[in-house]
């Protein structure tokens, strides 16, 4: 249950309309012009996130595929579409130093330029740690006849666990749209 909640938070907030890192990779021998129909893999249909976010995700992928000229079919698709979510917990540390340097002066007699001072001063360093999760959404396109991965798009973003329902939907749609800007690949 904890894993399901964690993955739900990742997909719900994995991306917002800023600073998503998107990359893709592809098989240069694949005939992308021949792919016109798709179906989701069983793994995609049973992805371990809550039903609301699973539906948002699959609907966003379907909408982008339709915009690319694909049709969803129940049997004999050209490609199978899989979606995978991963989260990586990270931590940053920021040090802040403050202090008091004591009293000192500069002077001299006859221009000798002697430096003097007293009080050693003190400083303190405070370290602040911030823990966050980078969520990555993978969209895989598999040639159904060859059972071979031909394209993969990835989007990564630091998640916002406080996103509301509207933000979740916008974030998912935005992430999927950005990922599909990489399709079809530039050969």
At 112 the pLDDT is 52
Q: Are residues 82 and 97 in the same domain?
A: no
Same domain, 29 and 104: no
- Sheet with 21-26, edge to edge strand ranges: 21-26, 148-158, 122-143, 79-100, 37-40, 71-72
Answer whether residue 187 is part of any domain.
no
Residue 30 belongs to a domain: yes
Domain span at residue 113 reads 93-127
Mean pLDDT in residue range 135-151: 97
Whether residue 69 is contained in a domain is answered as: yes
Are 120 and 145 within one domain?
no
Q: What is the mean pLDDT of the chain?
A: 83
Q: Does residue 186 form part of some domain?
A: no
- 64 DSSP β-pair partners: none
Q: Which residues pair with 81 in a beta bridge?
A: 40, 141
Domain termination residue (choose one: 127, 153, 172): 127
Q: 70: which residues sit within 8 A by CB, 6+ positions away?
A: 35, 36, 37, 38
**Residue 17 confidence class, pLDDT cut points 50, 70, 90:** very low
Residue 5 pLDDT: 47
Residue 152: CA count within 13 A, CB half-sphere: 12
Q: Are residues 120 and 38 in the same domain?
A: no
Tokens of 154: 């990835």
Q: Are residues 160 and 87 in the same domain?
A: yes
**Pure H helices in the chain:** 2-13, 42-45, 51-67, 165-180
- Examine the domain organization and report whether 19 and 108 are in the same domain: no
Q: What pLDDT, in 10s, does the model give residues 92-139? A: 888 888 766 555 544 444 455 555 555 556 778 888 888 767 889 999
Asked if 57 and 141 sit in the same domain, the reply is yes
CA angle 90, 95, 98 (to 5 degrees): 160
Dist CA 35 CA 72 (whole Å): 11
Q: Of 102, 127, 152, which residue is a domain's last?
A: 127
Total domains in the chain come to 2
135 or 80: which carries more pLDDT confidence? 80
Pairing assessment for the beta strands 79-100 and 122-143 based on DSSP bridges: antiparallel
Is the pLDDT confidence value at 18 over 70? no
| pLDDT, position 12 | 47
């Amino acid at each position: 249950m904890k894993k399901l909640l964690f993955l739900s938070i990742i997909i719900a907030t994995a991306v917002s309309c800023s600073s998503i890192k998107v990359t893709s990779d592809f098989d240069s021998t694949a005939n992308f012009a021949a792919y016109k129909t798709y179906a989701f893999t069983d793994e995609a249909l049973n992805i371990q996130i809550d039903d609301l976010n699973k539906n948002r995700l699959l609907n966003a992928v379907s909408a982008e595929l339709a915009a690319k000229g694909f049709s969803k079919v129940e049997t004999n698709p050209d490609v199978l579409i899989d979606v995978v979510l991963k989260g990586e917990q990270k931590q940053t540390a920021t040090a802040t130093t403050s202090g008091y340097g004591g009293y000192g002066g500069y002077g001299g007699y006859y221009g000798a330029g002697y430096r003097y001072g007293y009080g050693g001063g003190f400083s303190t360093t405070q370290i602040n740690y911030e823990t966050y999760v980078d969520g990555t959404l993978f969209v895989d396109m598999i040639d159904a006849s060859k059972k071979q991965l031909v394209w993969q798009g990835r989007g990564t973003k630091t998640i916002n666990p406080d996103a509301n329902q509207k933000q979740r939907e916008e974030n998912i749609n935005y992430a999927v749209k950005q990922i599909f800007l990489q399709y079809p690949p530039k050969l």
